Chains A and B, each alone.
Chain A
Amino acid sequence: MLEVRDLNIEFHDHSKPETVVYDFDLVMEEGDIVGIVGESGSGKTMSALAICGLLSRRDMKKRGQILFQGKELLTCSRQEMRELQGDDIAIIFQEPMTSLNPVMKIGWQVEEALKLHTNMTKEKRYERAIWALREAELPFPEKVYDQYPHELSGGMRQRVMIAAAIVCRPKILVADEPTTALDVTIQAEIIELLQKLNREYKTGILFISHDLSLVRKLCKRVVVMQNGYIVEQGNTEQIFGNPQKEYTKHLIAAIPGCDQVKEEKDFFHEEVVLSVKDICVSYYSSKGILGKKQEQEVLKGVDFTLHKGEVLGMVGESGCGKSTLAKVIVGLNKAYSGKLECEAGSVQMVFQDPYSSLNPRKTIGWILEEPLKVKGGYTKEQRRQKALSMLTKVGLDPEIANRYPGQLSGGQRQRVAIGLALMSEPKVLVADEPVSALDVTIQAQILDLLQRLKEEMGLAILFISHDLRVVYELCDHVIIMEKGKIVERGTPQKIYTSHEHPYTGELLKVAGIEKIAEKF
């Protein structure tokens, strides 16, 4: 049904042409689910956008062939392309927050494709939109039809996106990282929804992701890409079971696993560097001018202690209060009740997004020297020296001190962010999802770095994450949070093999590691 031959994509907006995709080949039958995996910059999104006809013809040169049901898409007229888009070929993007128009009602946005591609009457369109919303498993489709995007949660918005994509019954659905911005349990639901659509309507799905475990779960065939080239493609079992190429093996090895048995360490005799007792935080929101203030409890009595050299993993979904707790610990949120004991200035933080945590207008050297400037008591040379040696410590070339954050890759930036947090020699490092914005191989490197720094400096780390496998690798203890409460705590071994709370079981199930008990 879809056949791509020797697709090459070149950018032409600078003087030097830059090729981003080389010789891309792909064949998709009706009802196929094909996954494209690769790290950022591998050209996977570019190939998909080319198939959807979303690359501008002006700045790009495309060579090769894209045949959709025998029709050449690269050379067909814009009119013909528009007729296919949204009708036979539909796309879902990563970010449900920005891919819906915030000022239009959901119903209008779902019906838009019908207005363009069919002559349906208003009533027919309404029926069809409701059908699509129901297919996307949105509760109360009639109600959602009249709502605006901001009234829905992230998962619901992604369902609306799917509804809008399937409303014309497309033959191919291109899903570009559709679950990356969502919580793990919601991720699993969206994957199930895609599987159902594929089963019932024979919709072909081109699934683009950097998450290999998701691809493994969903796709029948996999294409592995690196630097614009296809490294390997074949059946899912074949690729994962018996990878031929070095790069594929490397990617699979970088998936954090839970296969090694961890030794249990005892930290009770170590110094307590952070103690949290019965922390409660509430937000107040008032409805309307005269409305009564509504209290919303975000944290309901959380307590734990952190010892020197210990890594404590905190797992939960968005809205469970883990970020709020991090803010309380580092002193960004002072409106809490309870007791927080730690040495003043001994807690530093690493944020999730290395693109926003470094000041884009300052050089790396300036950023690293800033904590020392604020602290005072260092000469200019001393500050410089310390900044440079910190760069070496986090595995970077000291020469990048003169560069700006925009000139570094995501992994390099996260290393700088970690270095920045360590400049003031803290005892506790709060890391809020420090690897979830990074590629798998980079993830593994950053985790290694944290592990090494912990051992070298005797750091205690509070590691916040939603990825149970990452937590298993790195942490000595784990606490599971749900709705502002700690529902379970213990060593990873204990939690992953013999959990007591049903929520823990659910998290383990969607992470695909419910069967870990059998391994031990």
Chain B
Amino acid sequence: MMKKKRNDILVTGSILTSVMLLMILVGLFFLPYDPETMNIDLKFAGISWRHPFGCDNYGRDIFTRVMVGAKTTLLVAVGTVGIGAGAGVLIGAFTGYFGGWIDEVLMRVIDALFAFPSILLALVVVSLFDSEKNQVLSLLFGSGKYQVIIALGIAFIPSFARVVRSEYLKQREMDYVKNAKIMGCGHLRIMFVHILPNILSVLVPTLMIGFNNAVLAEAGMSYLGIGVQPPDASL
């Protein structure tokens, strides 16, 4: 057996992530200031012991807003990747494993989605939620971050579906899959119990990159004014 080496990258990453998570956790119970109360006297106040990150153009404490915003951003990232990867794995698994007409139809839809930049796609989805045009959807999901999560989640499906499909195409030809078929396993069992663990090495890095992209895309949408709506904070 190979001796396990200490993984410096893992340790550094875990420390950084846990600082972030700790801040979010504390922010759930205790905040130094109200993140939304404006105070004109503190407009653009500099760094001080009372306001370690200073204040913004409305005189709100930036450190407090970072604590709150980190939560929103994490939620958006997890939600986006959750929806994108969940649906992407399902679509990719079915198209890659079965092939044939299911593959043709679903992949052409995915290709069409792929043709648009994900932000543009998210814009389209957000406009569907517009309360004046579609009351049911806007009632269900409200506005703000949940809209953003669903919009970005859908926009992220194609990239996950593509990766998962190509892996399933490769794996389904392996003899262990044939073995499982011969012993009488059902298709679903083969797809998700036998094959899925074998594509994790490809899927996990894709998830991590998806996380990054989700945070960036959310920031982009906020800049365009269709992301998380003020006075809600996000990073």
Chain A residues in the interface with B (C-beta under 8 A): 14-15, 330-332, 345, 347-349, 351-353, 356-362, 370-371, 374-375, 407, 417, 420-421, 423-424
A423 to B1, CA, bound (A): 29
List of A residues within 8 angstroms of B2 by Cβ? 14
Q: Within residues 1 to 51 of chain B, which ones have a CB less than 8 A from any CB in chain A?
A: 1-3
Task: Name A423's closest neighbour in chain B (CB-CB).
Answer: B183
Asked if A359 and B183 make an inter-chain contact with CB atoms under 8 angstroms apart, the answer reads no
Instruction: Select which of A345, A359, A361 is within 8 A of B184 by beta carbon.
Output: A345
Q: A15-B3, A360-B198 are in contact. Are A332 and B178 (CB under 8 A)?
A: yes
Give A11 Cβ to nearest chain B Cβ, in Å.
13
Q: A370-B185, A374-B185, A374-B189 are in contact. Are A349 and B198 (CB under 8 A)?
A: no
Instruction: Please classify how large the interface on chain B is, using the bins under 10, 10 to 19, 20 to 34, 35 or more.
Output: 10 to 19
A371 to B179, CA, bound (A): 10
Asked if A351 and B197 make an inter-chain contact with CB atoms under 8 angstroms apart, the answer reads no
A108 to B86, CA, bound (A): 46
Q: Within residues 39 to 77 of chain B, which ones have a CB less than 8 A from any CB in chain A?
A: none
Asked if B182 and A332 make an inter-chain contact with CB atoms under 8 angstroms apart, the answer reads yes
Q: A14-B2, A361-B197 are in contact. Are A349 and B178 (CB under 8 A)?
A: yes
List of B residues within 8 angstroms of A361 by Cβ? 197-198, 200
Question: 25 A-B pairs, CB-CB below 8 angstroms?
Answer: A332-B182, A345-B184, A347-B182, A348-B183, A351-B178, A351-B179, A353-B175, A356-B174, A356-B175, A356-B176, A357-B175, A357-B179, A359-B194, A359-B198, A361-B200, A370-B183, A370-B185, A371-B183, A374-B183, A374-B184, A375-B184, A417-B179, A421-B179, A423-B183, A424-B183
Task: Name B5's closest neighbour in chain A (CB-CB).
Answer: A15
Q: Mark B173-216, 1 if CB is under 8 A from A, else 0.
A: 01110111111110001000010011010000000000000000
Task: Name A348's closest neighbour in chain B (CB-CB).
Answer: B182
A348 to B181, CA, bound (A): 10
List of A residues within 8 angstroms of B200 by Cβ? 361
List of B residues within 8 angstroms of A359 by Cβ? 176, 180, 194, 197-198
Give A429 Cβ to nearest chain B Cβ, in Å.
11
List of B residues within 8 angstroms of A349 by Cβ? 178-179, 182
Instruction: Select which of B176, B181, B184, B197 is within 8 A of A358 by beta carbon.
Output: B176
A331 to B181, CA, bound (A): 9
Asked if A330 and B176 make an inter-chain contact with CB atoms under 8 angstroms apart, the answer reads no
Asked if A330 and B189 make an inter-chain contact with CB atoms under 8 angstroms apart, the answer reads no
List of A residues within 8 angstroms of B1 by Cβ? 407
The dominant DSSP class at the A interface is loop
Task: Name A371's closest neighbour in chain B (CB-CB).
Answer: B183
A103 to B183, CA, bound (A): 39
A371 to B185, CA, bound (A): 8
Q: A361-B197, A361-B198 are in contact. Are A351 and B183 (CB under 8 A)?
A: no
List of B residues within 8 angstroms of A423 by Cβ? 183
A375 to B185, CA, bound (A): 9
Give A350 Cβ to nearest chain B Cβ, in Å.
9
- A/B pair count, beta carbons within 8 Å: 59
A332 to B198, CA, bound (A): 22
List of B residues within 8 angstroms of A353 by Cβ? 175
List of A residues within 8 angstroms of B174 by Cβ? 356-357
Counting chain A CB atoms within 10 Å of each CB, the highest count among B3, B174, B178, B182 belongs to B182
Asked if B197 and A362 make an inter-chain contact with CB atoms under 8 angstroms apart, the answer reads yes
Q: A356-B174, A374-B189, A375-B184 are in contact. Are A420 and B197 (CB under 8 A)?
A: no
Asked if A370 and B176 make an inter-chain contact with CB atoms under 8 angstroms apart, the answer reads no
A353 to B198, CA, bound (A): 18
A358 to B197, CA, bound (A): 13
A498 to B161, CA, bound (A): 59
Give B6 Cβ to nearest chain A Cβ, in Å.
12
Asked if A331 and B198 make an inter-chain contact with CB atoms under 8 angstroms apart, the answer reads no
Asked if A332 and B181 make an inter-chain contact with CB atoms under 8 angstroms apart, the answer reads yes
Give B93 Cβ to nearest chain A Cβ, in Å.
15
List of A residues within 8 angstroms of B3 by Cβ? 15
A44 to B205, CA, bound (A): 38
Give B194 Cβ to nearest chain A Cβ, in Å.
6
Please name the 6 residue pairs, one residue from A and one from B, whose CB atoms are nearest each other, closest first: A357-B175, A361-B197, A351-B175, A371-B183, A356-B175, A359-B176
A375 to B186, CA, bound (A): 11
A331 to B185, CA, bound (A): 13
A356 to B194, CA, bound (A): 13
Give B201 Cβ to nearest chain A Cβ, in Å.
9
Asked if A370 and B180 make an inter-chain contact with CB atoms under 8 angstroms apart, the answer reads yes
List of A residues within 8 angstroms of B189 by Cβ? 374
List of B residues within 8 angstroms of A357 by Cβ? 174-176, 178-179
Give A367 Cβ to nearest chain B Cβ, in Å.
8
List of A residues within 8 angstroms of B180 by Cβ? 359, 370
Task: Name A372's closest neighbour in chain B (CB-CB).
Answer: B183
Give A422 Cβ to nearest chain B Cβ, in Å.
11
Q: A359-B198, A360-B198, A374-B189 are in contact. Are A331 and B182 (CB under 8 A)?
A: yes
Give A501 Cβ to nearest chain B Cβ, in Å.
32
Give A7 Cβ to nearest chain B Cβ, in Å.
27
List of A residues within 8 angstroms of B179 by Cβ? 349, 351, 357-358, 417, 420-421
A349 to B183, CA, bound (A): 9
List of B residues within 8 angstroms of A15 by Cβ? 3
A154 to B176, CA, bound (A): 25
List of B residues within 8 angstroms of A421 by Cβ? 179
Task: Name A327's closest neighbour in chain B (CB-CB).
Answer: B178
Task: Name B2's closest neighbour in chain A (CB-CB).
Answer: A14
Q: Within residues 138 to 187 of chain B, which ones have a CB less than 8 A from any CB in chain A?
A: 174-176, 178-185
A236 to B1, CA, bound (A): 39
Task: Name B194's closest neighbour in chain A (CB-CB).
Answer: A359
A357 to B175, CA, bound (A): 4
Give B1 Cβ to nearest chain A Cβ, in Å.
8
A417 to B176, CA, bound (A): 9
Asked if A330 and B182 make an inter-chain contact with CB atoms under 8 angstroms apart, the answer reads yes
List of B residues within 8 angstroms of A347 by Cβ? 182
Give B7 Cβ to nearest chain A Cβ, in Å.
15
A332 to B181, CA, bound (A): 8
List of A residues within 8 angstroms of B182 by Cβ? 330-332, 347-349
A15 to B4, CA, bound (A): 11
List of A residues within 8 angstroms of B178 by Cβ? 332, 349, 351, 357
A348 to B179, CA, bound (A): 8
Task: Name A354's closest neighbour in chain B (CB-CB).
Answer: B175
Give A423 Cβ to nearest chain B Cβ, in Å.
8
Task: Name A14's closest neighbour in chain B (CB-CB).
Answer: B2
Counting chain B CB atoms within 10 Å of each CB, the highest count among A330, A359, A362 belongs to A359
